[in-house]
């Protein structure tokens, strides 16, 4: 869980000053820099299992649907302020309607070549990404595939220190290209990613890490249809979980995804965990439902992703 630290408090004060500066028309990037300076002490290696999926041996395994960190209320507020400020200064026209993203796949295998992902699976994964995102103006094209046999990276890709090493070594043009790394994260985590405001846009830290068997054709049923990559790409473009903030007023900051108290599992259509209007958005890609259940992003999620790209990751849209 996210903890409030002294550093966070300091970041909050500094961000407040930055907001004042941007509102007064001073340097706009100050707010983005402050967001990047927040230290996120999220222990993703300590997450408790919340799902079950089929392991490589065919048996059930407890796992973690997503290890992307939660966001604090103050951070949501400042991201929103940064976007509003950007759109005021650059104009809404700066928001691209069509964004084509090159994708480089890094298949990190065991020393004996195990945990491979085939070219056919990669092609299917791109199809799933395109089928999910294209109606919202995002398309994905293959930039390349790199396969490497290295036990340490394949097995310890959930570790923050190991993650830095393989990303620093392997990332291809992170400013313009989505780097997807497959491996076998400990704790049976299906995937994790970062938000656009987390790092400078050319940082090698951007990208998505996926369990190798959660790609289409993998063994991780019911998470074997490629929607883990869609979910993590949603984070990569700036979306939060539909249950982020639970039934609170802010919830996930997206008004056309009804509030939701907690993550869904399976496909509980009709579930309603908050007293406010609307059933839980269990078919939304940013919930935790089974791959066969999730099928949509909302219009406001699309706009939020494009606003995040325009503000924090303009290189992705060729700007
Ligand atoms: Zn997630």
Q: Where residue 234 sits, what CATH number does that domain have?
A: 3.40.390
Q: Please, which contacts does 112-119 make with residues 24 or more away whose CB atoms are closer than 8 Å?
A: 112/149, 113/149, 115/154, 115/182, 115/183, 115/184, 115/212, 115/213, 116/147, 116/212, 117/182, 117/212, 117/215, 117/218, 118/217, 119/145
Q: How far apart are CA 261 and CA 282, in angstroms?
A: 11
Which pLDDT does position 89 carry in this prediction? Answer: 86
Which pLDDT does position 118 carry in this prediction? Answer: 98
CA angle (310 as vertex; 304, 312 as ends), nearest 5: 95
Residue partners of 29: CB distance under 8 A and separation at least 6: none
Give Cα separations from 220 to 30, 52, 170, 247, 311 (angstroms). 43, 9, 26, 31, 35
Using the mean position of ligand 1's atoms as its centre, give its distance from the Cα of residue 192 in Å: 7
Which pLDDT does position 150 carry in this prediction? Answer: 97
Boundaries of domain holding 194: 6-239+297-317
Which pLDDT does position 23 carry in this prediction? Answer: 42
Closest by CA to 36, choosing from 200, 180, 155, 204, is 200
Using the mean position of ligand 1's atoms as its centre, give its distance from the Cα of residue 258 in Å: 17
% of residues, the chain, pLDDT over 90: 76
Total structural domains within the chain: 1
Q: Which two tokens stand for residue 167?
A: 């990303």
- Scan for tokens 């998470």, then name that residue: 223
Which pLDDT does position 93 carry in this prediction? Answer: 66
pLDDT per residue as tens digits for the range 194-232:
999 999 999 999 999 999 999 999 999 999 999 999 999
Determine, yes or no, domain membership for 285. Answer: no
pLDDT per residue as tens digits for the range 23-53:
434 444 678 888 888 777 789 999 999 999 9
Using the mean position of ligand 1's atoms as its centre, give its distance from the Cα of residue 251 in Å: 15
Determine, yes or no, domain membership for 276. Answer: no
Task: Please give the distance of CA 153 from its chain centroid, rounded to a whole number.
Answer: 20
pLDDT per residue as tens digits for the range 239-253:
999 999 899 888 889
Determine, yes or no, domain membership for 54. Answer: yes
Q: How far apart are CA 212 and CA 304, in angstroms?
A: 29
Which ranges in the chain belong to alpha helices (H)? Answer: 6-23, 29-37, 73-90, 119-133, 151-155, 160-170, 227-236, 299-312
Using the mean position of ligand 1's atoms as its centre, give its distance from the Cα of residue 66 in Å: 5
Q: How far apart are CA 35 and CA 11, in angstroms?
A: 8
Determine, yes or no, domain membership for 282. Answer: no
Determine, yes or no, domain membership for 200. Answer: yes
Determine, yes or no, domain membership for 74. Answer: yes
Determine, yes or no, domain membership for 209. Answer: yes
Using the mean position of ligand 1's atoms as its centre, give its distance from the Cα of residue 167 in Å: 20
Residues of the chain with pLDDT under 70: 1-29, 92-94, 319
Residues identified as active-site:
232
Determine, yes or no, domain membership for 252. Answer: no
């Amino acid at each position: 869980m996210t903890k409030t630290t002294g550093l966070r408090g300091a970041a909050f004060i500094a961000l407040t000053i930055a907001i004042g500066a941007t509102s007064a028309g001073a340097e706009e990037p100050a707010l983005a820099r402050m967001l990047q300076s927040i230290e996120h002490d999220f222990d993703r290696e300590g997450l408790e299992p919340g799902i079950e999926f089929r392991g490589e041996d065919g048996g059930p395994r407890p796992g973690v649907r997503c290890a992307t960190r939660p966001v604090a209320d103050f951070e949501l507020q400042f991201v929103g302020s940064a976007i509003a400020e950007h759109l005021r200064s650059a104009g809404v026209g700066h928001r691209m309607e069509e964004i084509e993203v090159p994708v480089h796949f890094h298949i990190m295998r065991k020393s004996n070549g195990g945990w491979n992902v085939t070219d056919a699976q990669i092609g299917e994964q791109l199809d799933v990404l395109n089928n999910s995102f294209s109606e919202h103006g995002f398309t994905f094209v293959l930039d390349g595939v790199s396969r490497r046999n290295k036990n340490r990276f394949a097995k310890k890709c959930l570790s923050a220190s190991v993650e830095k090493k393989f990303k620093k070594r392997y990332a291809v043009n992170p400013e313009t290209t989505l780097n997807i790394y497959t491996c076998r994260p400990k704790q049976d985590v299906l995937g994790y990613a970062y938000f656009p405001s987390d790092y400078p846009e050319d940082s090698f830290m951007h990208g998505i890490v996926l369990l190798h068997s959660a790609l289409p054709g993998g063994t991780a049923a019911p998470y074997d249809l490629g929607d883990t990559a869609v979910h993590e790409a949603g984070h990569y473009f700036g979306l939060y979980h539909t249950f982020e903030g639970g039934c609170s007023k802010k919830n996930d900051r997206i008004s056309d995804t009804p509030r939701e108290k907690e993550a869904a599992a399976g496909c509980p259509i009709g579930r309603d965990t908050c007293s406010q209007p609307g059933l839980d958005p269990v078919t939304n890609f940013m919930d935790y439902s089974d791959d066969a259940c999730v099928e949509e992003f909302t219009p406001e999620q699309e706009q939020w992703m494009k606003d995040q790209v325009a503000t924090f990751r303009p290189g992705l849209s060729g700007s």
